[in-house]
Amino acid sequence: MYSETSKLLEKVEEISRTVIAKNAVKTDKNAEWPEEGIRALLSAGFGGLTVPLEYGGLGHGTETLSKVCEIIGQYCASTSICYGMHCVGSAVIASKVTRYQQEKYLTPICEGKHITSLSLSEVGSGSHFYLPQTKMISTTDGSYLIDGAKSFVTNGGYADSYVVSVVTEEPNQSSGRFNCIIISADSPGVEWGPVWAGLGMRGNSSRNLSLNNVKISDQEILGNIGDQIWYIFNIITPYFLTAITGAYLGLGRAAIEEIRAHVMQRKFSYNDKTIASSSVIQHKIGVLWAKYVRTKALIYYSTQRYDKGIEDSQLDLFSAKAEVADSVIDIVNEGMTLCGGSMYRADSNLNRMLRDARAAHIMSPTTDMLRIWTGRSILDQPLLTDT
């Protein structure tokens, strides 16, 4: 199925145009999780997009993930991020999967019957998302109890499982070790906070999650104890960055289209001319296009290099996400000016895009952290000194 990437992208485009687009306004207005769009993507065989072929997935890397999220993001940014987080979670599970985890999680993911998501962020460490404080406590029967609180869990309450970061609490150790585990949504002790009410990305269901002594077996540990930082830099960061950059690139493209359509039809009766005929407007559209296209080039360049395993290519992924956040916010901000009062209406598409775009800087790794990590890498400084 979808042996050629171009066929896969055509199918994503068709689902986005026919299913996802028609729900975009109500997803935002009612802060509704985009169930129909997500199910359509899974039914079409895209559940295992980032799962290797050997486990029944489609075996795609960061370039295709980014392009898929870009297409979806042109129609609905929330749907794009919700689907993207499922793909990041799937890639994490697949990277060091055991037979048990394959049967319980990966096979249903590839069959489109299981949604997963990422649950890393916590109030206590915020944008330093690699420093979990949620505890993993050993018990005498060999199982573990998970106790803590997570924040902003996208697909919260709708996924079937969550990839969760934790720190071990061992009586004889001076410092804990960071791990990734999987928690099934129906585990006793999983409790959701209030429904998500974001400024934008309102369909994300990015909710707070309390984990109240949730019991897991050692089969739910991903990789080995202490592997969390390995997952962060080898899987989570590259896949997270590319899903997000794709979603926001798509949003930027859609915003330019919205601005273009408006300035081409807005006409004054006093001179019978559209504002598109003004050189100032033409110049400004030219600047916006350059922002969009140079970001697109950086995203395509960095994902292609990353998938080829080129040394230091992750550095360019850092810049790609930071740049797309800057570009998309500039594009929609300028669009609000170019389009005048009609886009300032509560129900305008650009209004939704502006609110959705604002999350780009603060979704981890945040723009600030990415710029700092890039600088540290170039200057041979340790990446994770939290000052």
Ligand X SMILES: Cc1cc2nc3c(=O)[nH]c(=O)nc-3n(C[C@H](O)[C@H](O)[C@H](O)COP(=O)(O)OP(=O)(O)OC[C@H]3O[C@@H](n4cnc5c(N)ncnc54)[C@H](O)[C@@H]3O)c2cc1C
Point out which residues bind ligand X (CB under 6 A): 85, 117-121, 126-127, 129, 152-154, 198, 201, 204, 206, 359, 362-364, 366, 368-369, 372, 386
- Coil vs helix vs strand at 88: helix
173 closest CA partner among 146, 144, 138: 138
CB of 73 to ligand X, least distance (A): 13
Letter for the amino acid at 192?
A: W
Return left, alpha or beta for 13; rule: phi > 0 is left, psi -120 to 50 is alpha, else beta. Answer: alpha
CB-wise, 118 or 211, nearer to ligand X?
118
- Residue number, 112 or 200, with CB nearest to ligand X: 200
Nearer to ligand X, 23 or 117 (CB): 117
Q: Packing angle between helix 349-357 and helix 77-95, nearest 10 degrees?
A: 30
Considering Cα of 182, then 68, then 99, then 222, what sign does the dihedral take?
negative
Nearest distance in Å: CB 293, ligand X: 26
For ligand X, the closer CB: 71 or 372 = 372
Sequence-ordered alpha helix ranges (H) in the chain: 5-15, 21-29, 35-41, 62-75, 77-95, 99-101, 107-110, 228-231, 237-265, 279-307, 313-338, 349-357, 367-378
In the complex, minimum distance from the CB of residue 281 to ligand X, in angstroms, rounded to a whole number: 32
Cβ atoms of 167 and 178 closer than 8 Å: yes
The terminus-to-terminus CA distance of the chain in angstroms comes to: 48
Closer residue to ligand X (CB): 80 or 314: 80
Smallest gap from Cβ 171 to ligand X, in A, equals 28
* Residue with Cβ nearer ligand X (206 or 302): 206
Q: Which residue is nearest to ligand X (CB)?
A: 126
Supply the minimum distance, in Å, between the C-beta of residue 206 and ligand X.
4
Q: In whole angstroms, how close is the CB of 34 to ligand X at the nearest point?
A: 13
Tell which phi-psi region holds residue 56, choosing left (phi > 0), alpha (psi between -120 and 50) or beta: left
The residue (of 262 and 356) whose beta carbon lies closer to ligand X is 356
Compute the least distance from the CB of residue 199 to ligand X, in Å. Answer: 9
CA distance readout (Å), 230 to 112, 182, 225, 269: 27, 16, 11, 63
Nearest CA to 93 among 192, 4, 206, 182? Answer: 182
| Element (DSSP H or E) covering residue 145 | strand 144-153
199 or 287: CB nearest ligand X: 199
Q: Cβ of residue 368: shortest distance to ligand X, in angstroms?
A: 3
